Chain A
Amino acid sequence: KAGVTQTPRYLIKTRGQQVTLSCSPISGHRSVSWYQQTPGQGLQFLFEYFSETQRNKGNFPGRFSGRQFSNSRSEMNVSTLELGDSALYLCASSPGLAGGGEQYFGPGTRLTVT
C-alpha cells in the first residue's frame, strides 16, 4: 500500500496570506489527523476528520481550518498567516475504527512565513 502523501512539500508565504495544504491518506483509511511541529512547541494536534466530519479539534485559533472529502483526502487551510505559523505540518492517516488508534504520518509540508 502506498503511504500518506502530502503536497506541497515546501511552501514560502508572506504574512497575511492564506495557504492550503493537502493530504492523501493510506488507501482504506477514513481518519485524517493534522499536527503542527515546531522546535519550541513540539508536535501539537490541530484537528481530526472522519467520514468528512471534524471529530476532534485542538487548541488552535479559528484561522486554522480543515475539511475532508468523500474519498478521505483532506485539506487544511491557514488564513491571515503569521510569522509564528512557520512550522512543519504533518497529517496522519488511521483506519478510524475503535480498537485501533495507530496513526501513520506523511512526510509533512514545511511552511515558511516571511
Chain B
Amino acid sequence: QQQVKQSPQSLIVQKGGIPIINCAYENTAFDYFPWYQQFPGKGPALLIAIRPDVSEKKEGRFTISFNKSAKQFSLHIMDSQPGDSATYFCAVGNAGGTSYGKLTFGQGTILTVHP
C-alpha cells in the first residue's frame, strides 16, 4: 500500500520558473509534512515542514501549500535557480505519539533547472 504518492517523477524548468511538486497521502492520522532536498552523494536535507493547522508556510523561496480535506500538499519553489537542481522528497509522519520517529516518503521528483 503506497501511503504517499508524489508527482511528477521529473520536472524541467527554466531559471526563474516556479516548479510545483505534489504529494497525496491516505492516512488522516499524519500530522507532520516535511519536504527534503537531496543532492547526489548526500543525505536528504530538511527544507521546510508544515503541520495541518495551517494551509500555507513560506521559508525563503520555498512554500508549502496544504489542503487537509483533499489530503494533499505541495512544494513551490519561487525564482528557481540552477542550484536548485536536485531530487525532492515529500514525507508524512507524526510529531508525537507511537509513530514518532518514522517518516514515510514519496518516491521523489528529479528537478532540473536550466540556466
Contact = CB atoms under 8 A, between A and B. Distances in A.
If over half of B's interface residues share one DSSP class (helix, strand or loop), that class is named, otherwise mixed; here it is loop
A94 B101 contact: yes
23 contacts: A33-B101, A33-B103, A35-B103, A42-B105, A42-B107, A45-B102, A45-B104, A48-B100, A48-B101, A48-B102, A50-B101, A55-B98, A56-B99, A56-B101, A90-B43, A90-B44, A94-B101, A98-B95, A98-B96, A98-B100, A100-B95, A103-B103, A108-B43
A102 B34 contact: yes
B9 to A, nearest CB: 11
A55 to B, nearest CB: 6
The 7 closest A-B pairs by CB, nearest first: A98-B96, A48-B101, A105-B43, A101-B95, A101-B32, A43-B105, A56-B102
Contacts of B60: none
A99 interface: yes
B110 to A, nearest CB: 12
Interface residues of B, number: 28
Interface of B: 32, 34, 36, 41-46, 49, 89, 91, 93-108
Contacts of B98: 55-56
B95 A99 contact: yes
B94 to A, nearest CB: 7
Contacts of B43: 4, 90, 105-108
Instruction: Determine the interface band of chain A, counting residues with CB < 8 A from chain B.
Output: 20 to 34
A99 B99 contact: no
Contacts of B105: 42-44
Contacts of B36: 105
Chain A CB within 10 A, most for which of B34, B99, B103: B103
A104 interface: yes
A87 to B, nearest CB: 13
A103 B100 contact: no
Contacts of B107: 42
A96 B95 CA distance: 9
